[in-house]
A = this chain, B = another copy of it.
Amino acid sequence: MTSVESTLALHLKNAGFSLTEPRLKVFKALQDDGPLSMQELYSRVSSINRTTVYRVIELFEELKIAQRVAKGWKYHLELTDDFIPHHHHFTCTNCHKTISFDEPKSFDVMLETVANHNGFLPTAHTLEIEGLCSDCRVLA
């Protein structure tokens, strides 16, 4: 068992769940292949029943192991900040690849300003940028 797997096992055990093959496979797919659509995820673990995949994701969301993040107007599945550092996404409108980037330092300040101004208490946020990636802007 690798260190990541034992971290996963711990998260599950702490909440009273066991580390089963479907759960491990889904976790590994998300870890190795990054943000995935439900389709992509399902095709990568196709030995596992569709219902089970949905249920694993449901559980992972409850336990904050994985989360759904907006991609355009659909969504992607991704491990939470406990497993990969907090970041945002850029998606190329030409080649459709997704690039992750760190959150800018100035973001926090801005977020606080906005929150104060509107009276709300932020607990989570998403920032998604769309455009041409470095490769595609040369060609186009």
Contact = CB atoms under 8 A, between A and B. Distances in A.
Contacts of A72: 68, 70
Contact of A115 (B74, B110, B127, B129): B129
A113 interface: yes
Contacts of A93: 123
A118 B106 contact: no
Nearest to A113: B104
What band does the interface of chain A fall in when counting residues whose beta carbon is under 8 Å from B?
35 or more
B99 A118 contact: yes
A26 interface: no
29 contacts: A70-B71, A70-B72, A70-B126, A90-B118, A90-B122, A93-B123, A101-B117, A104-B113, A104-B114, A106-B109, A106-B113, A107-B110, A110-B110, A114-B129, A119-B134, A120-B129, A120-B131, A120-B133, A120-B137, A121-B137, A122-B129, A122-B130, A122-B131, A123-B130, A124-B129, A124-B131, A125-B127, A126-B127, A127-B127
Interface of A: 68-75, 90, 92-93, 99, 101, 104, 106-107, 109-111, 113-115, 117-134, 137
